[in-house]
Chains A and B, each alone.
Chain A
Amino acid sequence: MPRSSWTQRLEPYLMLAPAGVWLFLLLILPTLMIFQISLVPDIKPGDLVNPSSLGNYLEIFDPIVLWIVARSIGLSIATTVLCLLLGFPVAYWIALLAPRRWQNLLLLAFVLPLWTSSLLRSYAWISILRPTGVLNTILSFLHLPTLDLMNQLPAVLIGMTYSLLPYMVLILYASLEKLDRRLLEAAADLGAKPLEAFLQVTVPQVLPGIAAGVLLVFINAIGDFVNPELLGGPSSMTAARLVYSKFLGASPDWGMGSALSALLIMFVTLSIVLLLKYGDKNARTL
């Protein structure tokens, strides 16, 4: 029986519907609500007035808040750079140098930490980094000066890098694994030493993968709440923690919390759009 054209046209929508409803109810609707709350000054829990002013947004331009936002961005950039620097050699080694039969096992080993709760991983880092923890026990055993990293930014950076490194490795691996090795032979044939071939052929060839990895790690880093909260102590306040405290802390301010959330959402969306555009330009040449 021939299918009528309207069922054919409806088919993709029907297939998208379950995920679409899910996304609408749990992502788009709450986001819109946050935007609405962000426009109401002095909102108290349970009380929704008609949106009226940008006052909450002006509160963000308080030097203290701006400093927290800047710290968040700086921390996320540092995490992303660390993940790229640590992840690239690993992904390169697994994709291009390791024996083929080991590749899946090695990747699995890298993804394994993702199977445990992020909370658990943070607690594990606490037991390593705290003043009487594993790290300092080893250092003092070796008669080296002990390190006080806990409840400071370095601990947060370590925790976040550890959490996000597997994502970077996975994405870079996927990109490097597709790299045509004959291109490296062609580069060598044309006189390029290994480092020149790496910089002029390998890196440009996997640039879309690098962009994707950087984007994913950066977005996750800026939204990370667990690592700064558990490892950072009071001194390393980040935007995500500030949002949390504005909703659930001792002195709630939903309006300002929502405004900060809204700005973060817009910032992340903007970076995605920019990187997608950049990534696209790269993809076109492939």
Chain B
Amino acid sequence: MAQLLSQTSSDTNVQGALDIELRKVFKVFDGEAAVRGVDLDIRQGEFFSILGPSGCGKTTLLRLIAGFETPTAGDLLIRQTSMVGIPPYRRPVNTVFQSYALFSHLTVEDNIAFGLKIQKMSRGEIQARVFEALRLVQLEPLAKRFPSQLSGGQQQRVALARALVNRPTVLLLDEPLGALDLKLRKEMQLELKRLHQQLNITFVMVTHDQEEALTMSDRIAVMNGGKLEQVGTPSQIYDRPQSQFVAEFIGDTNIISGKIEGSHPAMLWVKSDDGEKIQVQPTMSGQRLLTAGRVAINLRPEKIQLLRSDPRQDGMALEGMNCFEGSLVSTLYLGTHVNCVIRLQSGRTLLVRQPSPETVSKIAGPVYVLWSPQDCLALALPE
């Protein structure tokens, strides 16, 4: 059913080829740089997310690709053609706008047909394509309605159909699910994934929701202060953040700052500011391998095991593991899991995620936290 829509893009879809290339792109508004020297490649057919807090420049980046803004410096290519000076109406991209921007004076059908009519396509073909697009987003019964007569989720689908019907090389989505409630969001996330797989065209989505980016994307670019912090697959971003910002922005994390006391190609020994001796598996931090200096150890709450008796006395093999004694301070029930706050003997508190509430509810007295050096990550701190 999606063949008609995806024809043009799938014909030329080559594995590994690039759809969008940004070369040292800057955008300055009234002396204030919103985008500062971004280099980015987006591959053909991938679901790419640009993730960041509000004001980080992610929407500006999308608007640069769409052509609503022109770069102050740098080059932007779509399918190897420079787009500098090319107005939005000549670019092979279509956008799903944040609040949909549907034409209120046109019916659903005419909204979807807008781009095709501009292209002076024959009536028959317009009809066929609009029907196809309506089917794709499951809105056939609402073709004659006006946007004001639709719910938020339905308007969202119209916006999608209106963009996709033009068979763009790249579909740009600006916070597409931001205005929807949680249940509808989850539904539309699946819907977008389905459309992406079915149509096999490149999706570039801007979002501030890290969970949304992690679940939907093939690759993610994390942005902060107009710059790219890290570009990678969701698991690279989550498990191997390259900067403190990424580690903290994506998911919960414990941060333990300290100093490297000894190093070995396979292990770092770090003494935390509170005195704990922690073993960390060395990783690339930015471009260099850490061997000395101050570091921030990042430890995801779900990587920590919580034990009620001292594993050292229980005879567990603890060679190379990090284990500390502490006490349970508080718990927060979150439905699928429980967040526990554990205070170590040094006074440091750690956030620990436990799968089931039962294991936590009866805890009294000392507890022991345990994690492997592979499960934590040391990032260099400025001296």
**Interface positions of A (Cβ within 8 A of B):** 180, 182-183, 185-193, 196, 200-201, 204-205, 207, 282, 285-286
Check if B104 sits within 8 Å of A286, measured CB to CB.
Answer: yes
Residue among A189, A201, A285 with max Cβ neighbours from chain B (10 Å):
A189
A192-B89, A285-B146, A286-B105 given; A186·B118 CB < 8 A: no
B115 at the interface (CB under 8 A from A): yes
Q: Convert B109-132 into 0s and 1s, putting 1 for each residue whose CB lies closer than 8 angstroms to a CB of A.
A: 000001100110000000000000
Instruction: Compute how far the CA of A193 lies from the CA of B102 in the bound complex, rounded to whole angstroms.
Output: 18
Contacts of B104 in A (CB 8 A): 205, 285-286
Cα separation A183 to B146 with both chains bound (whole Å): 15
How many residues of chain B have a CB within 8 Å of chain A?
27
What distance in Å separates the Cβ of A210 from its nearest Cβ neighbour in chain B? 13
Which residue of chain A has its CB nearest to the CB of B115? A190
- Rounded to whole Å, the gap between the CB of A99 and the closest CB of chain B is 12
Which of B92-100, B255-263, B330-338, B360-368 forms part of the interface with chain A? B92-100
Write out the residue numbers on chain A whose beta carbons fall within 8 Å of the beta carbon of B106. 204
**Contact of A186 with B103 in the complex, beta carbons under 8 Å:** yes
The answer to whether B166 and A183 touch across the interface, beta carbons within 8 angstroms, is no
Closest 8 CB pairs of A and B: A190-B115, A186-B101, A182-B101, A188-B88, A204-B105, A191-B118, A189-B95, A188-B89
Asked if B68 lies at the interface with its beta carbon under 8 angstroms from chain A, I say yes
Residues of B within 8 A of A (CB): 66-68, 87-90, 93-95, 97, 99, 101-106, 114-115, 118-119, 146, 148, 162-163, 166
Residues of chain A within 8 A (CB-CB) of B90 are 191
Q: Are B94 and A189 in contact (CB under 8 A)?
A: yes
A-B contacts, 12 of them at CB < 8 A, read A182-B99, A183-B101, A186-B97, A189-B89, A190-B115, A191-B118, A191-B166, A193-B89, A207-B105, A285-B146, A285-B148, A286-B105
A191 to B118, CA, bound (A): 7
* Given A285-B104, A286-B105, also A190-B148 (CB < 8 A): no
Q: Is the interface of A mostly helix, strand, loop or mixed?
A: helix
Please tell me which one of the listed residues B68, B118, B148 contacts residue A185 in the complex, with CB atoms under 8 A apart. B68
Rounded to whole Å, the gap between the CB of B105 and the closest CB of chain A is 4
Number of A-B contacts (CB under 8 A): 69
* Alpha-carbon distance A99/B87, docked complex (angstroms): 23
Chain B residues, CB < 8 A from A190 = 89, 94, 114-115, 118, 162-163, 166
Contacts of A192 in B (CB 8 A): 89, 114, 118
On chain A, the residues within 8 Å of B162 by CB distance are: 190
Judge whether A286 and B148 touch: CB under 8 Å.
Answer: yes
Closest A-chain residue to B113, C-beta based? A190
For residue B95, which residues in chain A have a CB less than 8 angstroms away from its CB? Answer: 185-186, 189
State whether A205 touches B105 (Cβ < 8 A): yes
A201 CA to B87 CA, complexed, in Å: 18
Q: Which residues of A contact B103 (CB under 8 A)?
A: 183, 186-187, 201, 204-205
Expressed in whole angstroms, the minimum distance between the Cβ of B12 and any Cβ of chain A is: 20
CB distance from B240 to the nearest CB of A (A): 36
Q: A189-B68, A191-B115 are in contact. List 7 more A-B contacts (CB 8 A).
A: A180-B101, A183-B101, A188-B68, A188-B88, A191-B90, A196-B118, A200-B114
Name the distance in Å between A112's Cβ and chain B's nearest Cβ. 32
**In whole angstroms, how far apart are the Cα atoms of A286 and B103 in the complex?**
9
Closest beta carbon of chain A to B200's beta carbon, Å: 21
CA distance A190 to B91 in the complex (A): 9
A188 to B89, CA, bound (A): 5
For the complex formed, measure the closest distance between the CB of B88 and the CB atoms of chain A, giving whole angstroms.
4
**Which residue in chain B gives the minimum CB-CB distance to A282?**
B105
- Across the interface, which residues of B come within 8 angstroms of A180, CB to CB? 101
**Hey, which chain A residues are within 8 Å of B105, CB to CB?**
204-205, 207, 282, 285-286
Enumerate chain A residues within 8 angstroms of B68, measured Cβ to Cβ: 185, 188-189
The residue on B at minimum CB distance from A203 is B105
Asked whether B97 lies within 8 Å of A185 as measured between CB atoms, the reply is yes
Interface-centre pick from B103, B115, B162 (highest chain A CB count, 10 A): B103
Which residues of chain B have C-beta atoms less than 8 A from A186's C-beta?
A: 95, 97, 101-103
Chain A contacts for B87, CB-based, 8 A = 188
Measured between C-beta atoms, what is the minimum distance from A182 to chain B in Å? 4
Tell me the minimal C-beta distance from A202 to chain B in angstroms: 11
A192-B94 Cα distance, complex, nearest whole Å: 12
Residues of A within 8 A of B94 (CB): 189-190
User: Which residues on A sit within 8 Å (CB–CB) of B99?
Assistant: 182
Question: Which residues of B sit under 8 angstroms from A187, Cβ to Cβ?
Answer: 103, 114
Q: A191–B117 Cα gap in the complex (Å)?
A: 10
A192 to B163, CA, bound (A): 13
CA distance A99 to B108 in the complex (A): 35
Specify which of B99, B105, B146 lies most central, judged by the most chain A CB atoms within 10 Å of its CB: B105
A121: shortest Cβ distance to chain B, in Å?
Answer: 37
Query: A185–B89 contact, CB under 8 A?
Result: no
Residues of B within 8 A of A185 (CB): 66, 68, 88, 95, 97, 101
The residue in A187, A190, A285 that gathers the most chain B C-beta atoms within 10 A of its C-beta is: A190
Provide the bound-state CA to CA distance between A187 and B111, in Å.
Answer: 10
Q: What's the Cα separation between A205 and B105 when bound, in Å?
A: 7
Q: Which B residues are CB-close (under 8 A) to A286?
A: 104-105, 148
Residue of chain A at shortest CB distance from B87: A188
